[in-house]
């Protein structure tokens, strides 16, 4: 099966199938699930960045009004070991309530009470004696000999990760121009609109958890492992959710606590974290420091990229590498990436939209910008001279399509790049500049992914998928695929999703692979539905199935359209009542279909206030086929917005005196609002008509959409000011300081 | 695929998989479904047996505390036509609120309010002006010329149904002995433990209904038709339910009202009928009058059966025939069954456990008893001389198995029939007797029926079926089938069921076909799971799948058991995460697999009080393979108990003065308690090892289990007293009168 050559539904700018539920408030999020006998949970958290819990006195709390259970150090579960997600190897032990608290916010005890207020009130009655310890908050300190050890094993998470090909030293020698810089990014918070939420309920030995979850099957695995239950005894359901960005790809401790309190009380328990709690313990994008050296010949051929990075995982193990982008974005024979991950006394990192990639783009794409200037080549042109021809692995893997060049060329034209580079860069105290940055994303998707379709006797359809729609519109796109294949309008397609007990397996919605995994599965199921339908119709129309076509809900002989039978009139279907078909994602093809993208930014730097305003933005993406123009733009504009936050405003601030997060709220932690993004933000899809990546011709989009944004902004700032800002975010304070140092303050 | 020859799980007396939920109270019944913003419904019912609604004033009700909506004659939906279930043809119009009320209990208006109390209170504030009409309560009156017409078309539901073969007149002439009698049965109420209940909730244009439902897909069809919605927009869910017996096979009006009130208020609405309402409008077993003439030769060969029947449907159309049993139970060349169905001003009939069959058995099996006596042959022997050799149709259909003879022979031996017939029949004022009656049931099951199995990576299993478990243990039996095939213990099998949005199609749980339809579907899915699992294992064990066996959760080469790999260690399964397989019920084979059964009853008739006590009971059934000895006995003992109620105590009493039901409660309507059934109640399964009926070798049981009970009791009463009681139930009052008339009162 090859991708469609023409489509009538796929590609259309259709509104989301669940738009009504989402805007009317009828959508049930995990925190909306309610039972008459439900209890509410509150969690006591360590206020110290590093401390030993000497005693926990819960006596008073247990007798508080409405309190039904307290879970604390004395409970047998307190010491239980928590599983790491499958992609984290060899992390130090994580316990439910570790008497050694490693960050301000770590869980110490929990209460279930009749009301949320009673639960929170009871927390105050729990008396904990802590022995405070010295703490360490940044990587440099943590790596110093004799530094405070976050874990017994020390502060280095594991031996440095090294990716290497060719000979970097030799490459640098061969280069005519070499640039070097150290780039830093800050700790960014996922700040999902919906905080972490769950409801846990037991029926005997069987557990159901309603969870704001990017991957119900992963969460089912986690809970089964943690509790020693068969997978069949754990049901995880995610109906609606308000954003994940990676923070809900793994199960959070508060849910496990709710599960334990529900078992203890034999009543359902709801846990909804406060905004502050979400900032402390729902994960974050780890801060990175990358020292990058790159060299090219005078005609712009990259000869070497050398990256030395340090990523900060926080108090427990996670992935804090990010250099992979530097090994793949450009053709380069000599590359070395070496990264060290470090523990500190702060909340743990978690995968966040394109983990590591925006950090690496921040370093790499500013380095390329600097190199272009040094050689005297336009940055777009330098990138065009180093396009990768394959995935640079051993052996190299050919791409099924690779639209980076087209993104650069068509993007530059659409943005008016040449003109903008030459336009005068200042108007009074305001300096204007444009910048460009590119990206790729290494996930081609792949099995397992399965979908079930059921065609009802009236020609309406049910689509069942294990996918969590994390806000991207995955459900809408999957329904469109079925609609495309079967000619059924979306309002006659009902979707069931993300329930381990009733839906087929799907991987975590993450890695920009939700559509590329599951759309082919849906398509395969739809093709099978059509096959069975035509077989039924063949009997009634007395023609072989191969001579029949299904169009607009009718089956007709290809040469006798006037004999068309509407689906509900097929007697064989009336007898069977439902046609059920299962479709699965095919194995990956030998060629790799990966997405690429280029962002063009225009900024104004106010030299009096230090404020940087992004005034114009173009995001050009080769993500293969556009499945739905509306959800495509939503993804891209959402990514760019997040990227602008990463570039200009977002940063978790830790108090050097106490180690506590100082801005654990949406007032002090500034995510961009609609006023912070340019009105002139556009998106240009590049479709290479990839016929080999998968059966729908589409590639990932969610993550690439934010990878190069911040670097493009920084390059535009450089273009405007001549100042290379190496530390993200570019706050007015930092900008003013840099302007002042260069004597450019307005 | 042929049925198993040996089994290790199927057939075991295993407890129900949902026993914990059912006894702990954690099972969620439709009336337990709760939403924080849910409203409660109450329905105003016509107090008159026959009346015209002249006006409905709802103004005061609308301003009562907590009232959120009133639905009455002025609403556009009031006049809407309601669909009949598919098996009722050509019924007169049924409207939501018909201004012509045809029975005491018919719906007139409804209220949705914040609490059930407020809703009921508001009903009192609705002022209805009725014009009372003359009414008719019984068939004889209704059929008289000039009788009050329940419907414009008159009181005859449709032209009499006639089933005929051979020449009855000629057959009667050829007979050496002819007996004739008129037999009457009373109106019996389903009296399910759980009354009708539902919760309706809209999300935009999509409707979800939690319903105490025997068939969610039928209810989905009903609602889609009534509301003009695509099937995909209607979701019906039945989790637990407390009995149906046919009353929940079709959707009830109160649910549709809840749906409309939920739409009107944009809030979920819960409707739980009171016990009294359930008696009035949840349906009933229609009362029958059957005049039966039968003749046999002196050596006991049946020559003719002639049945003239009248069944009472109540105020709206339903099936009130019952004579079919008389055409099939015995080989007889000359048969005529003619039945008339009649409207009266009383609550409508509904299919009730073996619709028509217990009524017909009451007449037929007493007739056979009388004939045996007249000829002078033992009643068991007479039946043995007339065993059917095929399903008597045109042309005859051979049986795949037919265990009636074996039931009679082995049952008589086990019951001690011969000795009991000869034993002295009296001890003081108490007369003792034994009776026998037989049955068959004409449903072999058949497609469509589909099941989905998902094997998780740890070897635990999910089973998804559209079946409503109406209390019979269907879920348990289906899980056992999967367990049998895959060697997975029941506590590692999780079952999802009866949800039109997430489960595959299943027919209404009724007709004693739930297991015979769906167990083969589950088996087919399990066989496919095993096939895929062995394919995966073949790669890892380097042996073709055909040389591997799956046993106790391990796969091993058949000749190298020591190389067995536990399922969770199969790497291919870990990669795939889940093996999903779909299984469907095969089309019916050319031979018919139908169940048969024989009941033996011993009674004591107290000639002083008229009380009849059933003191010993043996139910012998050929229902093919016993799938689970516990649920098998539950079915049989439940059927016998219901049959004893039908024989001795159960009767809806209508007030001749007002037409109202006088005993619409469980105090005045006497269903048998544990004290009313014999301690010595046993069950003897006869398994003919049917290899052709379906792939599990089992046949229906639910309905045959109650068909012959009452007739066996009546025959025992005759044996004890010499009095043929033709009117059911045999109340003490009736018995005393009959004893007195014969001068046998003690």
Task: Map A389-410 to HEC letters.
Answer: CEECCCCCEEEEECCHHHHHHH
- What are phi and psi for residue A51, nearest 5 degrees? -165, 155
pLDDT of residue B86: 81
Residues of B in contact with A217 (CB under 8 A): 577-578
The position carrying tokens 């990175």 is: A288
- What is the per-residue pLDDT across A566-601, written as a single tens digit (0 to 9) for each? 999 999 999 999 999 999 999 999 999 999 999 999
Residue by residue, DSSP assigns B455-518 as: EETTS-EEEEE-----SS-HHHHHHHHHHHHHT--GGGEEEEE-BTTTS-----S-TT-HHHHH
CA dist., res. A688 & res. A698, Å (int): 10
The number of C-beta contacts closer than 8 angstroms across A and B is 132
Residues of chain A found within 8 Å of residue B576, distances taken between Cβ atoms = 447-448, 505
Best residue in A204, A205, A488, A500 to probe B by mutation, most B CBs within 10 Å?
A204
Chain B: residue nearest A450 by CA? B580
Question: CA of A32: which chain B residue's CA is closest?
Answer: B36
The CA radius of gyration of chain A, in Å to the nearest whole number, is 27
Smallest Cα distance from B578 to chain A, Å: 6
Q: Where are the beta strands (DSSP E) in A368-480?
A: 390-391, 397-401, 426-427, 430-440, 450-456, 461-465
CA distance B279 to chain A (A): 29
To the nearest whole number, what is the mean pLDDT of chain A? 97
Across residues B502-521, what is the average pLDDT? 97
Residue B30: C-alpha distances to residues A517, B194, B278 (Å): 37, 10, 15
* pLDDT at residue number B89: 82
Residue in chain B nearest A454 by alpha carbon: B504
pTM: 0.96
User: Which of B24, B36, B501 lies at the smallest CB-CB distance from A462?
Assistant: B501
Interface test with A, best of B18, B215, B228, B456 (most A CBs within 10 A): B456
What pLDDT score does B25 carry? 87
Among the partner residues B450, B575, B580, nearest to A450 by beta-carbon distance: B580
**What string of H, E and C letters represents the secondary structure of A597-656?**
EEEEEEEEEECCCCCEEEEEEEEEEECECCCEHHHHHHHHHHHHHHHHHHHHCCCCCECC
Interface contact A204-B20, CB threshold 8 A? yes
Round to whole Å and give the CA distance between A311 and B504.
49
Contact residues on chain A for B461, CB-CB shorter than 8 A: 232
CA end-to-end span of chain A, whole Å?
Answer: 61
Confidence of residue A671 (pLDDT cuts 50, 70, 90): very high
Tell me which of B17, B228, B231, B462 to substitute to probe the interface with A (most A C-beta atoms closer than 10 Å). B231
d(CA A599, nearest CA chain B) in Å: 37
Which residue is closest to B19 within chain A, CA to CA? A204
Q: Could you tell me if A119 and A67 are in contact, meaning their C-beta atoms sit under 8 angstroms apart?
A: yes
**Residues on chain A touching B209 (C-beta within 8 angstroms):** none
Mean pLDDT of B398-402: 97
Best residue of A465, A506, A524, A578 to probe chain B, by most B CBs closer than 10 Å: A578
pLDDT tens for each residue of B622-633: 999 999 999 999
Predicted confidence (pLDDT) at residue A377 exceeds the cutoff of 80: yes
pLDDT for residue A86 is more than 90: no
CB contacts of A233 in chain B (<8 Å) are 460, 491-492, 494
Alpha helices in A438-585 (DSSP H): 474-486, 514-541, 571-576
Question: How much is the pLDDT for A427?
Answer: 79
CA distance A450 to chain B (A): 9
Interface test with chain A among B234, B502, B585, by most A beta carbons within 10 Å: B502
Which chain A residues contact residue B206 at CB under 8 A?
494
Q: Which of B501, B35, B451, B30 is nearest to B224 (CA)?
A: B501
pLDDT of residue A746: 80
C-alpha–C-alpha distance, residues B98 and B397, integer Å: 45
Q: For chain A, give the percent of residues with pLDDT over 90.
A: 96
Q: From the list A34, A203, A204, which residue is nearest B35 (CB)?
A: A34
Nearest CB to B204; choose among A21, A459, A577: A21
Alpha helices in B284-356 (DSSP H): 324-328
- Tell if the CB–CB gap between A35 and B34 is shorter than 8 Å: yes
- Cα separation, B718 vs B638, in Å, equals 24
Mean pLDDT value across residues A115-120? 98
CA nearest to A572 within chain B:
B448
Minimal Cβ distance to A232: which of B35, B462, B577: B462
Per DSSP, the three-state class of B449 is coil
Mean pLDDT, residues B136-144 taken together:
97
d(CA A629, CA A623): 12
Distinct helix (H) and strand (E) counts, chain B: 19, 32
Determine what percent of chain B is predicted with pLDDT higher than 90.
96
CB B45 within 8 A of CB B38: no
Q: For tokens 């943590």, what's the residue?
A: A142
Mean pLDDT within B89-101 = 94
B580 contacts in A (CB within 8 Å)?
450, 504-505, 582
Distance CA A309, CA A324 (A): 11
Rounded Cα distance between B583 and B531, Å, is 13
Determine the average pLDDT of the residues in B570-588. 97
On chain B, the residues whose CB falls within 8 A of the CB of A206 are 494
Q: Which chain B positions have a beta carbon within 8 Å of A24's beta carbon?
A: 204
Closest partner CB to A204 (pick from B21, B448, B458): B21
Tell me the C-alpha distance between B173 and B299, whole Å. Answer: 15
Task: Kindly tell me if the per-residue pLDDT of A424 is higher than 80.
Answer: no
| 3-class DSSP assignment, residue B367 | helix
ipTM of the complex in this document: 0.95
Interface probe with B: pick from A215, A230, A524, most Cβ of B within 10 Å: A230
Select the residue of B21, B203, B454 nearest A21 (Cβ to Cβ): B203
Can you give the pLDDT at residue A584? 98
CB atoms inside a 10 Å sphere around CB A169: 12
Q: What average pLDDT does the segment A645-661 reach?
A: 98
Residue A744 pLDDT more than 90?
Answer: no
Alpha carbon of residue A564 to chain centroid: 46
Phi, psi of A283 (to 5 degrees): 100, 175
Q: Shortest Cα distance from A35 to chain B (angstroms)? A: 7
Sign of torsion over alpha carbons B240, B241, B245, B248: negative
- Weakest-pLDDT range from A552-556, B40-44, B422-426: B422-426
Interface test with A, best of B210, B475, B577, B581 (most A CBs within 10 A): B577
Contact list in B for residue A231 (CB cut-off 8 A) is: 456-458, 460
- Residue B448: asked if its preceding bond is cis (omega within 30°), the reply is yes
* CB nearest A26 (choices: B204, B233, B504): B204
Query: How far is the alpha carbon of B34 from chain A, nearest alpha carbon, in Å?
Result: 7
- Residue A360 corresponds to which tokens in the numbers above? 């690496």
Give contacts of B532 with chain A, Cβ < 8 Å. Answer: none
Instruction: Please work out, in degrees rounded to the nearest 5, the angle formed at the alpha carbon of residue B106 by the alpha carbons of B101 and B110.
Output: 115
pLDDT tens for residues B333-373? 999 999 999 999 999 999 999 999 999 999 999 999 999 99
Q: Which one of B202, B204, B458 has the shortest CB-CB distance to A231?
A: B458
Q: What's the whole-number mean pLDDT along residues B488-505?
A: 97
Identify all chain A residues contacting B486, using CB atoms and an 8 Å cutoff. Answer: none
Q: To the nearest whole angstrom, how far is the Cα of B511 from the nearest Cα of chain A?
A: 18
Name the nearest CA neighbour of A324 among A352, A296, A363.
Answer: A363
Measure in Å the smallest separation between the Cα of A268 and chain B Cα atoms. 11
| Residue B390 pLDDT greater than 90, yes or no | yes
The minimal CB distance from A232 to the residues B205, B493, B500 is found for B493
Q: What is the pLDDT of residues A159-206, one digit of tens each?
A: 998 999 999 999 999 999 999 999 999 999 999 999 999 999 999 899
A337-373: per-residue pLDDT in tens? 999 999 999 999 999 999 999 999 999 999 999 999 9
Cβ separation B230–A460 shorter than 8 A: yes
d(CA A207, CA B86): 39
Look at residue B180 and tell me whether its pLDDT is greater than 80. yes
What average pLDDT does chain B have?
A: 97
Using the Cα atoms of residue B327, residue B317, residue B160 and residue B156 in order, give the sign of their dihedral: positive
Measured between beta carbons, which residues in chain B are less than 8 angstroms from residue A205?
A: 20, 491
Cβ contact A204–B230 (<8 Å): no
């Amino acid at each position: 099966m090859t991708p469609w050559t023409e489509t009538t539904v796929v590609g259309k700018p259709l509104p989301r199938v669940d738009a009504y539920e989402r805007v009317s408030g009828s959508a049930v999020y995990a925190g909306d699930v309610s039972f008459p006998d439900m209890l509410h949970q509150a969690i006591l958290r360590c206020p110290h960045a590093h401390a030993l819990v000497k005693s926990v006195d819960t006596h008073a709390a247990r007798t508080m009004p409405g309190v039904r259970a307290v879970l604390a150090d004395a409970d047998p579960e307190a010491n239980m070991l928590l599983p790491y997600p499958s992609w984290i190897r060899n992390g130090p032990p994580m316990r439910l309530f570790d008497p050694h608290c490693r960050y301000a916010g770590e869980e110490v005890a929990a209460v279930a009470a009749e009301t949320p207020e009673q639960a929170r009130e009871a927390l105050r009655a729990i008396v904990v004696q802590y022995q405070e310890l010295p703490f360490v908050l940044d990587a440099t300190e943590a790596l110093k000999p004799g530094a405070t050890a976050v874990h017994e094993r020390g502060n280095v998470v594991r031996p440095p990760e090294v990716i290497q090909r060719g000979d970097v030293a030799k490459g640098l020698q061969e280069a005519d121009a070499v640039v070097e810089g150290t780039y830093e990014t800050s700790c960014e918070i996922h700040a999902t609109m919906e905080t972490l939420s769950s409801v846990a309920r037991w029926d005997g030995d069987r557990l159901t958890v309603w969870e704001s979850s990017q991957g119900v099957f992963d969460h089912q695995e986690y809970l089964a492992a943690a509790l020693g239950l068969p997978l069949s005894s754990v049901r995880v359901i995610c109906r609606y959710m308000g954003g994940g960005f990676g923070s809900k790809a793994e199960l959070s401790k508060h849910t496990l606590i709710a599960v334990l309190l529900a078992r203890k009380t034999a009543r359902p328990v709801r846990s909804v974290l406060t905004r502050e709690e979400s900032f402390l313990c729902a994960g974050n994008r780890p801060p990175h420091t990358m020292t990058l050296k790159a060299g090219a010949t005078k005609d712009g051929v990259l000869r070497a990229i050398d990256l030395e990075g340090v990523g900060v995982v926080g108090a427990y193990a996670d992935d804090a590498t990010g250099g992979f982008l530097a090994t793949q974005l450009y053709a380069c024979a000599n590359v070395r990436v070496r990264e060290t991950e470090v523990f500190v006394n702060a909340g743990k990192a978690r995968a966040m939209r394109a983990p590591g990639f925006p950090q690496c783009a921040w370093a790499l794409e500013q380095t390329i910008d600097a190199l272009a200037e040094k050689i005297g080549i336009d940055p777009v042109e330098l990138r065009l001279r180093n396009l990768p021809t394959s995935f640079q692995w051993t052996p190299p893997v050919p791409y099924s399509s690779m639209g980076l060049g087209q993104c650069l060329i068509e993007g530059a034209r659409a943005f008016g790049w040449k003109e903008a580079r030459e336009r005068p860069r200042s108007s009074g105290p305001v300096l204007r500049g444009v910048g460009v940055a590119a990206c790729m994303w290494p996930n081609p998707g792949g099995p397992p992914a399965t979908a079930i379709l059921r065609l009802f006797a009236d020609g309406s359809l049910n689509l069942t998928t294990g996918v969590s729609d994390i806000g991207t519109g995955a459900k809408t796109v999957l329904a469109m695929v079925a609609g495309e294949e079967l000619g059924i309008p979306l309002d006659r397609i009902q979707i069931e999703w993300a329930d381990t007990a009733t839906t087929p397996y799907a991987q975590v919605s993450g890695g920009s692979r939700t559509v590329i995994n599951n759309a082919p599965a849906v398509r395969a199921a739809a093709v099978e539905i059509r096959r069975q339908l035509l077989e039924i119709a063949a009997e009634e129309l007395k023609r072989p199935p191969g001579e029949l076509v299904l169009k607009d809900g009718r089956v007709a002989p290809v040469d006798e359209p006037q004999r068309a039978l509407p689906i509900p009139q097929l007697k064989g279907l009336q007898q069977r009542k439902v046609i059920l078909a299962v479709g699965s994602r095919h194995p990956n093809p030998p060629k790799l279909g990966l997405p690429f993208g280029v962002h063009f930014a225009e900024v104004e730097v106010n030299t009096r206030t230090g404020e940087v305003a992004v005034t114009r933005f173009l995001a050009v993406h080769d993500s293969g086929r556009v499945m739905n123009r509306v959800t495509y733009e939503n993804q891209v504009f959402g990514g760019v917005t997040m990227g602008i936050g990463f570039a200009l405003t977002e940063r978790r601030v830790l108090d050097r005196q106490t180690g506590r997060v100082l801005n654990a709220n949406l007032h002090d932690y500034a995510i961009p609002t609609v006023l912070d993004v340019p009105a002139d933000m556009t998106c240009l899809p590049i479709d290479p008509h990839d016929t080999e990546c998968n059966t729908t011709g589409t590639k990932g989009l969610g993550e690439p959409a934010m990878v190069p944004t911040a670097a493009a902004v920084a390059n535009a700032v450089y273009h405007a000011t001549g100042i290379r800002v190496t530390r993200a975010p570019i706050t007015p304070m930092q900008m003013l300081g840099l302007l002042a140092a260069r004597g450019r303050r307005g």
